[in-house]
Chain A
């Protein structure tokens, strides 16, 4: 009964490959996010989606493409992986986006390691 679940938990792959991370939330929220946490633990937002529409797109290379098939899912696809993409990626969700400043609930992360 995990609220925000991500798969896989660990992802080890070669430079240049394409990979996807999946996220699902069962909280009934209408907004979902992707964050990147680097090796120094710094958390930075990458994207946010509200009702399947892109709301926030921070300065992220276009090799990263989020896809939201429905309100409960937000997947992250990464093309041509680079060494600098190694990080922990967190999915989060909230109700009513950030307009009303509702709490964001985070998944347990996907640790991506590029060889």
Chain B
């Protein structure tokens, strides 16, 4: 089955710097890659997603890139702000009736003012 590896597990940056979180997946049939942000005491919130027919997607300060050949995808946050501090999860899915979302183990991002 699918396996998703996420790095780093913790990331500390200064406010205004960029942050990059990387994930690799094992199942070449995976075609959907969402990113979730989880704040303390809250559920995961979708921040951006990308499908396998696209190499890059951007939404304001957040961008995701996908390299299907290498089977890895990354989250880029520019001009980080203290409110970006949270745990970020990547996930992958093959779709179909049995297609689960398989999550990475999360990255705790701390943005220092």
Contact = CB atoms under 8 A, between A and B. Distances in A.
B46 A101 contact: no
Interface string A26-55: 000000000000001111110010100001
Interface residues of A, number: 26
Given A40-B105, A41-B106, A105 B98 contact: no
Contact of A99 (B38, B43, B96): B96
Contacts of A17: none
A43 B89 contact: yes
B110 interface: no
B75 interface: no
Given A41-B87, A43-B89, A103-B34, A98 B43 contact: no
B41 A98 contact: no
Contacts, number: 64
Nearest to A58: B100
Contacts of B106: 41-43
Nearest to B30: A101
B42 interface: yes
A101 B95 contact: yes
Contacts of B87: 41
A101 B52 CA distance: 11
Interface of A: 4, 40-45, 48, 50, 55-56, 58, 90, 92, 97-101, 103-109
